[in-house]
Structure 1
């Protein structure tokens, strides 16, 4: 199972209709686009999928659609994180009937637990969840950093298999890479830093840009994993404009502008997010569609 989650995982966007219902035909088109680009696995209902704005019923419907559409062609990871430990444990019972490779679980937000609190939270999830856990450290959204020592303590638990690191702190990533137990994976949570994190020993990335440019990005990741750093450096440099544009109007608004530009889905995002500007859609067309 762990080997399946190396390389490029794509944090799947959720296409929506103008009335904010889920656009399932476009979701199928997006999945086909990602699979055709040779990404390694799919992550459903992470931040990029607008997980905070969907009901639990909708989340499970999206998950069921993705699994049925893929027909076993790619492993699936499901996002289940939050700041109510017992609620997450209760919800995890509904996942037992789904074919999942792992659960991606973001560190608790808003509560701002201590490092000991974070450890206890994840240990309780690891004891209860029916699938292995990928930790997710994203301080820009949670207002709480998981220190390297916290990750390394949790890495001792056999049901915790990886860390998605999105702190932007390469020194912290290096500490994890150098001191983790055998088999524990370090995954980048930042498209632009994946190249550096893989070079320090990381196993891959959970990507946003993989929705939009799956082949180009997966090729760069694979070149880095194979140790072809000169080629990978050049490929990474060609993607820097796209990395910057993805950050301009927030995730996933900027991403959906790009997806509209290439005809995958509309740019609609659900409130409180706001749809990307016409100007950004046009710039994506220039970047992605100009010969």
Structure 2
């Protein structure tokens, strides 16, 4: 599980102007992460816009990332949804041989009870021997997986190895850290509070800004893991404004604008998402120019 300690990034899916998948941009993106100290890659998470990719495109994106990565970094694959049976079926019918773990989001829209969330992840855990990172993101799912549910899952299933905790609540994260099994990983899903979570005993982050500023962000997390608080916070404050910027008009419009400034990929997104406004693009470009 040490492979998931540090900085993971939730990769975007680059698009061309005609909205087709930009595989050259995807190759540049993966190499940019590897060359700048990122510890692992998350494929087809929310930031990758999988809701707007068809089955063939998802398969092509996975295959491209696997090929470019070429075994250099651990890979995590996003497989989640609000139809438990469909998620289980997708896991059973997906070739997971190149992936080290599954990232699976708590069910959205249905608003299940805590017992419903538990039973959802129980079914997933029992359907595979692959390691699972459960993902709590109330801002997208409209329901919060409470610490008691996360800890219960952690104790009950050996292959539920971590939580990506993105409630934006450090107290909630600390409750999980306090009561979790020793080897269970609490991974931040919020860039702005990733460092405080690490300093409280968290294992790191699955980041969005990290793919735009991979070197500095991964160094910051490593400093935090080493207990070098002052140096870590110096980097945090250096990057903090950019975190606000990239989420100001939604994800991944903001991070794609930054990646465009670094000539990694275009700032194209698919509807119902739209590009960052001209005003925000200028703000991000100004940050990049002066970073």
Provide the C-alpha distance between the structure 2 equivalents of 1:101 and 1:95, rounded to a whole number of angstroms.
Answer: 13
1:247–1:254 Cα contact (<8 Å) kept: yes
5+ long unaligned stretches in structure 2: none
In structure 2, distance between residues paired with 1:257 and 1:210 = 14
Match of 1:139 in 2: 138
CA distance in 2, matches of 1:235, 1:110: 37
Q: What per-residue deviation string (whole Å, max 9, x for no partner) do you get for residues 38-96 of structure 1?
A: 00000001111112111233212211110111110000000011100111111112323
Contact 1:133-1:162 within 8 A present in 2 as well: yes
1:260–1:281 Cα contact (<8 Å) kept: no
Question: Does the Cα contact within 8 Å between 1:64 and 1:98 map onto a contact in 2?
Answer: no
Q: Which residue of 1 aligns with 2:288?
A: 288
* Consecutive unaligned residues in structure 1, runs of 5 or more: none
2:112 counterpart SS class: coil
- Give the aligned partner of residue 186 of structure 1: 186
Structure 2 counterpart of 1:74: 73
Equivalent-residue separation in structure 1 for 2:95 and 2:21 (angstroms):
24
Map of 1:35 onto structure 2: 34
CA distance in 1, matches of 2:212, 2:76: 19
Tell me the secondary structure at the aligned position of residue 80 of structure 2: coil
CA distance in 2, matches of 1:28, 1:92: 25
Q: Does 1:264 align with 2:264?
A: yes
- RMSD (Å) for aligned C-alpha atoms: 1.1
For the 8 Å contact 1:107–1:142, the answer to whether it is kept is yes
> Quick check: 1:96 aligned with 2:95?
yes
C-alpha distance in 1 between matches for 2:22 and 2:49: 14
Q: TM-score, normalised by structure 2?
A: 0.97
The residue number in structure 2 matching 1:123 is: 122
| 2:211 corresponding residue in structure 1 | 211
Q: Alpha-carbon deviation of 1:36?
A: 1.1
Correspondence for 1:242: 242
Please state whether the residue corresponding to 2:145 is helix, strand or coil: coil
The 8 Å contact of residues 262 and 289 in structure 1, kept in 2 or not, is answered as: no
Distance 1:284 1:172 in 2: 31
Residue 130 of structure 1 deviates from its aligned partner by: 4.3
* Aligned match of 1:279: 279
Task: Indicate whether 1:254 and 2:254 are aligned.
Answer: yes
SS of residue matched to 1:112: coil
For 1:240 and 1:92, how far apart are their aligned partners in 2?
37
Mapped to 2, the partners of 1:6 and 1:58 lie a distance apart of 30
TM-score, reference length from structure 1:
0.97
